[in-house]
Amino acid sequence: MDKRAYYKKMFFIGGIWNLAASLSIWIMALSGPAAYVLFGMGVPPTMFFFHAMIWFVVAFGVGYFIVSKDITKNHGIALIGAFAKIAFFIDCIVTVALMEAGPIIIMFGAVDLLFAVLYIEFLLWTKKGNAG
């Protein structure tokens, strides 16, 4: 597979990952205390923050679908996405270190970190003039 097709597919899969994650978070928020116990978390006093996070994750997923349609444009989405995914990974580590969640949460952060590395690779590839 050539690099252009690879990166298009990568961003498409990134969009699917974000939409699947947002759906999972939404289901978790609806399912009650048992889901929070699975992740070693207490039940939050309000669902506002979960709902707000869901929409941010959905928005990024839509952005990755946009990049997948034309990898010569919208590189800012990839840059912001890489930054957000690295920040999420760091937040997962800090949350576990503070014992506010169980270690299982780091697996989700690790997938985002992998996507961040791939997005940075894409940005470096495009900087060399390959995408245009």
pTM above 0.85, yes or no: yes
- Please tell me the predicted confidence (pLDDT) of residue 116: 98
- Please tell me the predicted confidence (pLDDT) of residue 131: 67
Dist. CA 16–CA 92, nearest whole Å: 21
Dist. CA 81–CA 68, nearest whole Å: 13
Tens of pLDDT along 61-81? Answer: 999 999 999 999 999 999 999
